[in-house]
Amino acid sequence: MDWTPAPRRSSAMRREQNLALVGAVVSGAVIATGLLMLLVARVNPDGAARVRGVMLDLVTPVWSVVRAPFDGAGRAIDWTGDYLGAVDRNRALTAELAAAKAQLQRAAADRLALVRLQAIDKVREPQRLLLATARIVSATSGSVVRSAMIAAGSNDGVGPGLPVIGADGLIGRTVEAGAHAARVLLLTDPASRIPVIVQRTGQAGLVTGANHPMLELRDRVGADAPLRAGDRLVTSGDGGIFPPGVPVGTIVDASAEPPQVRPAATPVGAAFVMIESAYLPLPASAAPAEPGTPVPVEARRSGGTATSVPRPQSAPVSVP
């Protein structure tokens, strides 16, 4: 048995072919690494937090400088518009002021009554604490993630998981922070979940984004009570991040499923936002199971005759 030997390749050709092979292997390895990183990101979404912070610190100062002349131009246009519409606005505001003064009189009495009732019930309300006021300097307009970068970071006490509030209402919450910059997840992002109540009916629900100008109201408690277009949504304070009572949006289409909500505040333009501390931050560690806690009937039936959790050396039993 014999076969014709393979024709001898020139050394240049061999080199080319070896290089092409190495290139193909490296390309495949790189893509496989990226797929692995995707799975890691699914399991551990908060990985690489420090690198993300450094990236924010690198990008944000540049935009702060670049956008300055555009801000100036925008302000000049605003001033011109203000001068042209001054008379009409003055008349409208005068009428509005008269109505507001009357309302303020009634509200003063209500506030006094509320303070008395709170004193009787010994109500303790957590205080809202302003950490920093910063401007939005850039955004991810070209990505599937709806986020904005603000010029305040961990040096100003801003970390991830804090409420960001604009002049007209809620803007979002911080998700990453560098030393001088932080990233805000906007309400329109599909990952955003805001616990709200409908002001007119008192129903609780969740407002979610959909990469769309309108937000969606989901998981509403008591869905049989109909909503109306024009119903206002404010934060409920559930979840411990957002303080209660911050405007989130207005229902514009109540019959749609899910109901469509127009956000109260838009971060468009040279917007300044306030970063507050979390309203009721979750404790760092779960409360330990108290020894001597009674065990439910089902656990007693399946687990033996012990009527209470044994004191030391056992796994904590969850108490429903």
Partner 1 sequence: MSWQAPPWRLMNAAERRRYWWGHWRLGVPVMTTVLMLFIMTVPLIVPAPIFPHLGLLAIFVWSTFQPGLLPAWAAFLLGLVADLLFGQPLGVNAVLFPMTAVFVRVFEARFGRHAHGFDWAVASATIIGFELLTWQFMAVAGKPVPLAPLGWQVLTSIAAYPVVVWVCGRAQRAAFGWGGPGTP
Task: Give residues in contact with partner 1 (CB under 8 A).
Answer: 12, 23, 26-27, 30-31, 33-42, 45, 47-48, 51-52, 55, 59, 62-63, 67, 136-149, 175-176, 183, 185-186, 188, 190-191, 210-213, 266-268
Nearer CB in complex with partner 1: 13/115: 13
Bin 245: left if φ > 0, else alpha if -120 < ψ < 50, else beta.
left
Nearer CB in complex with partner 1: 15/89: 15
SS3 track for the chain: CCCCCCCCCCHHHHHHHHHHHHHHHHHHHHHHHHHHHHHHHHHCCCCCHHHHHHHHHHHHHHHHHHCHHHHHHHHHHHHHHHHHCHHHHHHHHHHHHHHHHHHHHHHHHHHHHHHHHHHHHCCCCCCCCEEEEEEEEEECCCCCCCEEEECCCHHHCCCCCCEEECCCCEEEEEEEECCCCEEEEECCCCCCEEEEEECCCCCEEEEECCCCCCEEEECCCCCCCCCCCCCEEEECCCCCCCCCCCEEEEEEECCCCCCEEEECCCCCCCCEEEEECCCCCCCCCCCCCCCCCECCHHHHHHHCCCCECCCCCCCCCCCC
Q: Sign of the CA dihedral 191, 242, 185, 78? A: positive
Nearer CB in complex with partner 1: 23/226: 23
Cα separation, 17 vs 41, in Å, equals 36
Nearer CB in complex with partner 1: 99/268: 268
Task: Kindly state the smallest distance separating residue 279's Cβ from partner 1, in Å.
Answer: 24
Task: Kindly state the smallest distance separating residue 46's Cβ from partner 1, in Å.
Answer: 11
Nearer CB in complex with partner 1: 12/77: 12
Longest CA–CA separation in the chain, Å:
111
Task: Kindly state the smallest distance separating residue 242's Cβ from partner 1, in Å.
Answer: 20
Residue type, 83: Y
Task: Kindly state the smallest distance separating residue 139's Cβ from partner 1, in Å.
Answer: 5
Nearer CB in complex with partner 1: 39/99: 39
Nearer CB in complex with partner 1: 48/204: 48
Task: Kindly state the smallest distance separating residue 1's Cβ from partner 1, in Å.
Answer: 37
Nearer CB in complex with partner 1: 136/251: 136
Task: Kindly state the smallest distance separating residue 188's Cβ from partner 1, in Å.
Answer: 4
Task: Kindly state the smallest distance separating residue 208's Cβ from partner 1, in Å.
Answer: 11
Task: Kindly state the smallest distance separating residue 204's Cβ from partner 1, in Å.
Answer: 24
